[in-house]
Amino acid sequence: MISDIIKDRAELVNREIRRILSTGEPDGLYRAARHYLSAGGKRLRPVITLLSAEALGHDCRRAIHAGIAIETIHNFTLIHDDIMDEDEMRRGVKTVHTLYGVPTAILAGDTLYAEAFEILAKSDAEPHNVVRAVSSLARVCVEICEGQYMDMSFEERNDVSEQEYIEMVRKKTGVLIGISASIPAILFGESRNVEGALWNYGVYSGIGFQIHDDLLDITGKDKIGKDWGSDIVEGKKTLIVIKAFEQGVELDTFGKGKASREELERDIKKLVDCGAVEYARNRAREYIELAKSQLNVLDDSPAKFHLMELADYLVERDY
């Protein structure tokens, strides 16, 4: 089962995180920076990196620094994202800024960001390939910031289109999964064709993943480990909401900042009844199928099969 494969690779990632990302002084800064890493998580991005390396015929341990660098970047984005959204829960624990204050949380995120490139620079690969990997990850970080800004700006608009949403999601979520899948190809000097296909696999998987994540925000209730329904009360223009608004559906809690469970349940029923939830679910599946088609450039192997299974898992998980 793909859950067993994810768990096995994640255990390797967790061991190396404990080894590489040690604590330091000032103690408060590093406790804040390690808070989400210590809380666990499925480590999907570094798992994709390890499986991609295996699918290319390499020992996955040669890509471990790249995988941890990407997971570190991911955790940096979570800290800053939670500050901007004022969320109180993440992975079933209090958010960093809630526990340590906003100034410390900002510094914790910045620390992780810098550490990621230090870790990636230690990769077991030819120096010129490591340089290109560092450059590629830096460009991805720029796009993540662009995507986050787009997401924020959408909250001030009532005319966000599906195309704009997809571009925002591609940048905010897709590109980090894109580099997760393609960075082994960069490090090990594979052809641009293979690198591009793995990049596309990751980006399309990431878009499907984010659409499904938006679905979980309104259907996951107590399973998702963060504030349920937060996207609605924060006024997020998800694909679900965009489709509902196109049909003239009005949501009483949208953008209100807070709402009771009963109020949220009434609005979510509207989203289900108008077909917006099912539409988003189908679009997520379409992107996953597109992602899997990119793997045709790879020779058949257990790792290739696991990458296909993992793509399916991204839109089938319930938390």
* CATH code of residue 27: 1.10.600.10
Which pLDDT score, from 0 to 100, does residue 225 have? 47
Which pLDDT score, from 0 to 100, does residue 43 have? 97
Residue 297 sits in which domain range? 2-314
Question: How many domains does the chain divide into?
Answer: 1
319 within domain boundaries: no
pTM strictly above 0.85: yes
How far apart (Å, rounded) are the C-alpha atoms in residues 207 and 315?
A: 10
Which pLDDT score, from 0 to 100, does residue 228 have? 76
Name the band, by pLDDT with cuts 50, 70 and 90, for residue 223.
Answer: low
155 within domain boundaries: yes
Name the band, by pLDDT with cuts 50, 70 and 90, for residue 40.
Answer: confident
102 within domain boundaries: yes
212 within domain boundaries: yes
Which pLDDT score, from 0 to 100, does residue 211 have? 98
SS3 labels along the chain: CHHHHHHHHHHHHHHHHHHHCCCCCCHHHHHHHCHHHHCCCCCHHHHHHHHHHHHCCCCHHHHHHHHHHHHHHHHHHHHHHHHHHCCCEECCEECHHHHHCHHHHHHHHHHHHHHHHHHHCCCCCCHHHHHHHHHHHHHHHHHHHHHHHHHHHHCCCCCCCHHHHHHHHHHHHHHHHHHHHHHHHHHCCCCHHHHHHHHHHHHHHHHHHHHHHHHHHHHCHHHCCCCCCHHHHCCCCCHHHHHHHHCCCCCCCCCCCCCCHHHHHHHHHHHHHCCHHHHHHHHHHHHHHHHHHHHHHCCCCHHHHHHHHHHHHHCCCCC
64 within domain boundaries: yes
Which pLDDT score, from 0 to 100, does residue 115 have? 98
Which pLDDT score, from 0 to 100, does residue 182 have? 99
278 within domain boundaries: yes
234 within domain boundaries: yes
Is the pLDDT assigned to residue 265 strictly greater than 80? Answer: yes
52 within domain boundaries: yes
270-296, pLDDT tens digit by residue? 999 999 999 999 999 999 999 999 999
